[in-house]
Amino acid sequence: MNRIGISIIIPCFNCANTLEQAFDSCFSQCTPGSIEVVMVDDFSTDETRDVMRRLATGRNNVKLFYHKQNMGGGATRNTAVRNASSDVIFCLDSDDILPNGSIGKMYTLLKEKNADGVGIHRSIKFNGNNTNNISHVNVFGYLGMKIPFESLMERPSGPFCPLYSTFMFTKEAFEIAGGYPENHGFDTQSFAWKFLANGLTAYTCKDAEYLHRIHYNKSYYVREYEDGKINHNWFKIFEEFLYLFNDETQREILSLNLNDPNESIFNKINAKANIFKDNYATLLKHDSELKYEKYLTDKIDIPAGDMYWLAVRKYDQKKYAEAFALFETMIGSGLNNGYAHLYLKNASSMLGKPSLLIDENVIEKNFAFRKQGSQVNIFTRIYRKTRKEIKGRLNKINIISKYYYRFVGIRNNIYQYFTEKSEYLRYREDIEEIIRRKEIVIQLDWGGLGDVLAYTLLPRTLGKKYGINFYLSERSRHIFRNSDILKLCFEMNPYFRGFKNQVGFKYKTFSREKPASELLLDIHGKNIMQNLNDQFDIGGPAIPQIYYTPHLIPEYRDTILIDVNFISGHKLGWVYDIKQIENYVKHISCDKYRVEYIDPVKQDIFRYADMIHSSHKFVTVLSGGAALAAALHTKAIVFLPKNVRGGSVYNFTFENSSVTYIP
């Protein structure tokens, strides 16, 4: 047993007004061992961090950690647990309070039962700042008995599952369950499912209470409801444990309209009398998913619901070819689920393999979240519809579009300048800490070729100037469109040290770093590499750097190679003059050179590099191909969009390269 009896973790986000009361309640507990408090700030924008530091002053049993970006409740809790010293954990929300003695009672029962977890008996909802102003009390069931898995599907008459509230658990149980989820908003509810589905044991502790603040700020549940994500969050929980449901229930879950505000996916499934497989109890144990995955893999005829679950498992394991085949089979069988189409689209992108079954309309329908509650009124709906129509029309009119986006860029620059100070100072502190520690872990958000090439100069330049070891965060692994991009941009780089499982540094740009001409006129700005060079005081040309030596393909010496890749441009609102590009190609070909159009998605990326290097002329729009040409020091012609949206076009232009940019 560790010297620390229990670690109380407090995930923090914009809780400066309530944190001290939550913190103080931790030390009114009576436990056999000492108490440690672990607070993790999830990139608050108020004075939360200052309050944390003040509360920790002079205490050696308080640990503080800070996220460098907002990552959500699940990730914040996971950070706290993994940095806790004790084998026993309790999560206290930063706006709630622990009544005297509750932790001691729960700790004693945990040890007496040799349990993996212990839930509270009563959750007391109080209004605002007055703990005596009680709104209502939730009483949880299963006193004196092991909490069953079936309790997760609560009946209106009860008894109610205490694990849907916060509860005490061992660190070993946390690891077995796999921690809190980070891919959706119901981390507490999902952790209860992960806990019981892995065969872990939990009990309700008689008279253990928890003070839950309401009507102060909107709760996370309310915010998720108003964002229209309640059904999507429940779907992600059901998706993970779909293998426990019988065929009929699986199909019902996968066919529900998640954006219907009048339909609750949880209530609809909960109302059914028989929802689980006949043998589901045998699957409630650790690693049962692995055994069931193997069982399904060896089967010839798999039910559509199990096939969906298996496909998601393969996708999460980065076995994209297997996931691709399973999703195509499932969609082909008639189960038209929006998440299935999205997974298939992503797997298609990772493999560079197109699929005719991907339906963008189904994806759009499923992920156009419908706002609920107080967030939406008739005037807002009219405004949004009108604004969308205007933007659509502006994009079709180049000259108006150009000045519209320039106005948007100037407006955003000025607004950011007056609101970014605290974030900018924090960002500079992060850079100084990186230089001091001589280690950087970069987190990437986009995995296209151009997006990734923008960071390829850093491993060498930071290593040469400061002796900094360069890593990518584990969270970045999944964003690469295919493994060859990772290999070309980083794995072949001798200065790349690999991946680290920690929160990564995220590049940001600030208005106060821009020259006045860019800030006030939104004219030519710096690319990502130039900004990073300035932020780290590196200097020198800002051109992508790769360590691949291209091969000459003789038959391409007399070829004009054209890559008109609009994927990223469309997302950014860029508009190109196709006629201008066609006329240019016609002018330079003069019937002397062969013209070949290329789709880079269908190419081996190294072959693509060889073709660019070998061609007589490489013509493209602003894309990954343009960035690759700059990295290869190959002469290329790159057409810029006719409109410039907030200066973002300049993020991927490299002035000192061999590339010529045509506006």
Mean pLDDT of 529-552: 91
What is the SS3 assignment for 5-71? EEEEEEEECCCCCCHHHHHHHHCCCCCCCEEEEEEEECCCCCCHHHHHHHHHCCCCCEEEEECCCCC
Which range among 206-220, 370-384, 442-456 shows the weakest confidence by mean pLDDT?
370-384
The residue behind tokens 């190609």 is 585
Cα-based distances in Å from 217 to 52, 166, 548:
20, 19, 54
The pLDDT value given to residue 321:
93
CA distance 353 to 344: 10
> How much is the CA Rg of the chain, to the nearest whole Å?
28
Residue 149 has pLDDT above 70, yes or no: yes
- Confidence tier at 612 by pLDDT (50, 70, 90): very high
Report d(CA 41, CA 70) in Å as an integer: 9
Q: What is the pLDDT of residue 318?
A: 93
Size (the chain), residues: 663
pLDDT digits (tens, 9 = 90+) for 80-90: 999 999 999 99
pLDDT for res 521: 62
Token output for 138: 């939730």
Interatomic CA distance for residues 384 and 634, integer angstroms: 45
Cα distance between residue 449 and residue 453, in whole Å: 6
Highest mean pLDDT among 260-274, 279-293, 383-397: 279-293
What pLDDT is attached to residue 428? 93
Confidence (pLDDT) at 646: 46
196 three-class SS: helix
**316 band by pLDDT with thresholds 50, 70 and 90:** very high
Structure confidence at residue 219 (pLDDT): 57
Helix/strand/coil for 210 = strand
What average pLDDT does the chain have? 85
pLDDT at 517: 66
Phi (first) and psi of residue 64, to 5 degrees: -120, 135
Percent of the chain with pLDDT over 90: 52
Region 311-326: what's the mean pLDDT? 94
CA–CA gap between residue 386 and residue 288 (Å, rounded): 52
Out of 157-161, 224-228, 473-477, pick the least confident: 224-228
Cα–Cα dist 530/75, whole Å: 32
- Could you read off the pLDDT of 496-511 as tens digits, one per residue? 999 998 878 988 888 8
Confidence of residue 651 (pLDDT cuts 50, 70, 90): low
Beta bridge partners of 617: 560
pLDDT value for 163: 96
Give the pLDDT of residue 1: 40
Q: What pLDDT score does 609 carry?
A: 93
Does 101 have pLDDT greater than 80?
yes
Residue 205 has pLDDT above 50, yes or no: yes
Q: What is the mean pLDDT of residues 354-372?
A: 78
Q: Which CATH class is domain 554-662?
A: alpha beta
Q: How far is CA 336 from the centre of its chain?
A: 25
Cβ neighbours for 179, distance < 8 A, ≥ 6 positions apart: 74, 77, 78, 81, 82, 191
Tell me which residue of 642, 643, 637 sits closest to 653, measured CA to CA: 637
Residue 479 confidence (pLDDT): 75
Average pLDDT on 231-251 reads: 94
Range of 281-285, 295-299, 515-519 with top mean pLDDT: 281-285
Secondary element (H or E) of residue 127? strand 122-127
Q: What is the pLDDT of residues 211-229, one digit of tens each?
A: 999 877 765 556 665 667 8
The more confident residue out of 227 and 93 is: 93
pLDDT tier for residue 390 given thresholds of 50, 70 and 90: low
Q: What does the alpha-carbon distance between residue 23 and residue 37 come to, in Å, rounded to a whole number?
A: 8
Q: What is the third-level CATH fold of 4-217?
A: Spore Coat Polysaccharide Biosynthesis Protein SpsA; Chain A (3.90.550)
Average pLDDT over residues 644-654: 62
Q: For the segment 339-348, what is each residue's pLDDT rounded down to a tens digit?
A: 999 999 999 9
Q: Is the pLDDT of residue 375 over 60?
A: no
- CA atoms within 13 Å, Cβ hemisphere of 558: 6
Mind giving me the DSSP string for 521-579? Answer: H--S---HHHHHHHHTT--S---------PPP-GGGTTEEEEE---HHHHHHT----HH
pLDDT at 69: 92
d(CA 214, CA 368): 29
Residue 457, amino acid: L
The alpha-helical segments, DSSP class H, found in 246-397 are: 247-255, 265-270, 288-297, 304-316, 320-332, 338-351, 360-367, 378-395
How much is the pLDDT for 589?
A: 81
Task: Decide if pLDDT at 398 tops 60.
Answer: no
Q: Is the pLDDT of residue 432 over 80?
A: yes
In this structure, how many other beta carbons lie within 10 angstroms of the beta carbon of residue 132?
6
Per-residue confidence at 393, pLDDT binned at 50, 70, 90? low
- The pLDDT assigned to 16 comes to 95
Of 186 and 642, more confident: 186
pLDDT of 26 higher than 90: yes
**pLDDT for 566 beyond 90:** no
Which residue did the predictor score with more confidence, 311 or 228? 311
